[in-house]
Amino acid sequence: MDPAVPITLDYTLRDLYSDNNEDDLNTTLIYYPLQFGYMHESPSAKYVYGYTLQSDDEKAASSFAMAANMVPQRYAFSAGQMPLIILDFDSSNKLKEENHKTCQTAGELPTHQLDIRRTFSQLIPNQRPTLTFVNSPGSISLGSGAQIAVLLPTDCLSHLPHVVHPETHYEILSKRGLALSGLPTPPSQVIDTGLVDSDDPSLLKQEVARMIESIDQRQVPFVIKLPQSISGMGTFLITTEVERGRVKTLLAEQFGVMLRQLNRSNHHLYPCSIVLQDFVTGPVVALSLFITKTGQPRFIACCEQRFDEQGHWIGGSISYRQQARRRETFAVIMQMVADFLRSKGYHGPAGVDIVTDDRSGEQLIIDLNVRVTGTFHLGPLTGHFTKRGLFEAGMTTVDFPYSRDKFEQMFADDIRNGSLIVSGWVHGESSQLSHAAITIGARESDELDEYFGRIKTATLHS
């Protein structure tokens, strides 16, 4: 069978960074598994994230770990030919070190590096990132005049020159930052902590009780947002009193964990502030854009989002025929976001989740992700799909009980005809499970739904 034709993107992050700005040819991406930062931080870390608070469900924890390990390849798929440094980390450092030694002896690359290279090898050569793996932040070497762009600021990289100051980036990523931004959002209440640090256990206990009490005082339905969250983790929709009670019990412990991350180096960043927000009903879209250095917004894609039964984000879909209309529909709010981010000194990719209020018709921002989004790549893939007559596309993240080789054998025809792209894949360390990001294209929306169904069915085979 003939191999798949290499994928050509309409444009890449490199193109967007360098648009009318030759300085940004020196931008270096540094991506890492989500858990890298907090596994390498001290108890006095400045940049802390609520998504580290996970349940004790072993299967869910394993899936989350694999999803975290897939972050670098999934978010860098549309990077283009620019430097990409990946902090080489998995959840079992000792195992990784042993495997690394074995691979060095055998002249082979570790499996997780092969997974990443295999994903990028699907792209035409001049759109593949210039890839470097490093074992620690201290071993990172940048070119002359280079600045780094990251998904999330972290202490272990704060010594390096950033495109956007880490403190500023952390602020505009936060739910508090959005609530106080002046951008149109649902009515929101910010609950700040009065603590400067978490040294006094009695004060800590009192503060947890105060924050829990604020949840009691809010009328349902409403949304609770932890300060920094990702993929739906750290966001809780409260629609009933039963749900309020369940979430209060869950958060009573998690607030304590969160407040213990407070210290004198980060209290001015409000890392423990929560947001209580009115729940607004209406259609929601996920808008991806790029803000140039001069503050101009570049429309990338406007997608529908996909969530699992727990409310965690698992992907999204796009209708290419609707993109011109949606660009026009959301042009004003897109410019407002660009103006706000430029006022903070930010330029680069961003995502905006917008709800159109069923009652008033007002467009309201319910989330602002100041980084590459999970569906960003669906914009650069427009030409790849539409020239094949595929005007609906989507991406889903899913676990498979087998290897990438087997999956690609099962879907060989789809890969060859360009309707299916493996935009991320990681193999589990201690099981036969794999975690993947699968991007697909179809002619019509009902066919796309059927395609998603085929992918879901494939998770049951072993």
What per-residue confidence (pLDDT) applies to 104?
Answer: 41
3-class secondary-structure state, position 93:
helix
Any domain includes 400: yes
Cross-strand bridge partners of residue 349: 290
What per-residue confidence (pLDDT) applies to 106?
Answer: 37
Answer whether 196's CB lies under 8 Å from 240's CB.
Answer: no
Residues 103 and 143 placed together within one structural domain of the fold: yes
Distance spanning both ends of the chain, measured CA to CA: 24
| Cα 309 to Cα 367: distance, rounded to the nearest angstrom | 20
Residues 411 and 369 placed together within one structural domain of the fold: no
pLDDT of 38 higher than 90: no
Handedness of CA 233, 234, 235, 239 (dihedral sign): positive
Q: How confident is residue 460, by pLDDT bands cut at 50, 70 and 90? A: confident
Q: Which of 32-36, 74-78, 337-341, 373-377 has the lowest mean pLDDT?
A: 32-36
Residues 272 and 284 placed together within one structural domain of the fold: no
Answer whether 313's CB lies under 8 Å from 232's CB.
Answer: yes
What per-residue confidence (pLDDT) applies to 131?
Answer: 96
Answer whether 356's CB lies under 8 Å from 282's CB.
Answer: yes
Q: How confident is residue 40, by pLDDT bands cut at 50, 70 and 90? A: low
Any domain includes 1: no
Residues 224 and 132 placed together within one structural domain of the fold: no
Q: What is the per-residue pLDDT across 353-411, written as a single tens digit (0 to 9) for each? A: 999 999 999 999 999 999 999 999 999 999 999 999 999 999 999 999 999 999 999 99
Any domain includes 340: yes
As given in the structure block, the two tokens for residue 314 are 């698992």
- Overall average pLDDT of the 71-77 stretch: 94
Answer whether 396's CB lies under 8 Å from 421's CB.
Answer: no
| Cα 144 to Cα 85: distance, rounded to the nearest angstrom | 15
Q: How confident is residue 65, by pLDDT bands cut at 50, 70 and 90? A: confident
| Cα 89 to Cα 299: distance, rounded to the nearest angstrom | 33
| Domain-terminating residue out of 278, 295, 326 | 278
Dmax over CA atoms of the chain, in Å, equals 69
Any domain includes 169: no
Q: How confident is residue 24, by pLDDT bands cut at 50, 70 and 90? A: low
| Cα 101 to Cα 385: distance, rounded to the nearest angstrom | 42
| Cα 300 to Cα 376: distance, rounded to the nearest angstrom | 7
Any domain includes 8: no
Residues 286 and 395 placed together within one structural domain of the fold: no
Question: Using alpha carbons only, how large is the chain's radius of gyration in Å?
Answer: 22
- Overall average pLDDT of the 166-181 stretch: 97
Any domain includes 253: yes
| Cα 351 to Cα 69: distance, rounded to the nearest angstrom | 21
Residues 415 and 433 placed together within one structural domain of the fold: yes
pLDDT of 158 higher than 70: yes
Give percent of the chain above pLDDT 70: 88
Query: 334-338, long-range: CB within 8 Å, 24+ apart, which pairs?
Result: 334/287, 334/289, 334/297, 334/299, 335/297, 336/183, 336/184, 337/183, 337/289, 337/291, 337/297, 337/365, 337/368, 338/289, 338/291, 338/295, 338/296, 338/297
What per-residue confidence (pLDDT) applies to 429?
Answer: 67
Any domain includes 174: no
Q: Quick one: how far is CA 177 from the chain centroid?
A: 18
Between 297 and 69, the more confident residue is: 297
Cα dihedral 384→386→391→395 (10° resolution)? 0
Between 216 and 308, the more confident residue is: 216
Answer whether 343's CB lies under 8 Å from 147's CB.
Answer: no
Residues 269 and 288 placed together within one structural domain of the fold: no
Residue 314 maps to which CATH number? 3.30.470.20
What per-residue confidence (pLDDT) applies to 79?
Answer: 98
| Domain-terminating residue out of 258, 278, 298 | 278
pLDDT of 105 higher than 50: no
Residues 274 and 290 placed together within one structural domain of the fold: no
Answer whether 315's CB lies under 8 Å from 374's CB.
Answer: yes
pTM of the predicted structure, to 2 decimals: 0.92
Residues 58 and 137 placed together within one structural domain of the fold: yes
Check residue 349 and report its DSSP letter.
E
| Cα 149 to Cα 164: distance, rounded to the nearest angstrom | 7
Give every strand in the sheet of 188-191, ordered side by side. Answer: 188-191, 274-278, 222-230, 233-238
pLDDT of 259 higher than 80: yes
What per-residue confidence (pLDDT) applies to 51?
Answer: 56
Answer whether 47's CB lies under 8 Å from 166's CB.
Answer: yes
Range from 31-40, 167-176, 430-439 that averages highest in pLDDT:
167-176
| Cα 143 to Cα 136: distance, rounded to the nearest angstrom | 17
Residues 354 and 405 placed together within one structural domain of the fold: no
Check residue 184 and report its DSSP letter.
-
Q: How confident is residue 462, by pLDDT bands cut at 50, 70 and 90? A: low
Cα dist from 351 to 111, 211, 299, whole Å: 31, 29, 10
What per-residue confidence (pLDDT) applies to 430?
Answer: 62
pLDDT of 33 higher than 90: no
Q: What is the per-residue pLDDT across 79-101, written as a single tens digit (0 to 9) for each? A: 999 999 998 865 334 334 434 44
Number of compact structural domains in the chain: 4
Residue 401 maps to which CATH number? 3.30.70
| Domain-terminating residue out of 360, 379, 398 | 379
Domain membership of residue 357 as a residue range: 280-379
Q: What is the per-residue pLDDT across 121-145, written as a single tens digit (0 to 9) for each? A: 999 999 999 999 998 888 999 989 9
Q: How confident is residue 21, by pLDDT bands cut at 50, 70 and 90? A: low
Residues 82 and 98 placed together within one structural domain of the fold: yes
Any domain includes 429: yes
| Cα 444 to Cα 449: distance, rounded to the nearest angstrom | 9
Residues 270 and 321 placed together within one structural domain of the fold: no
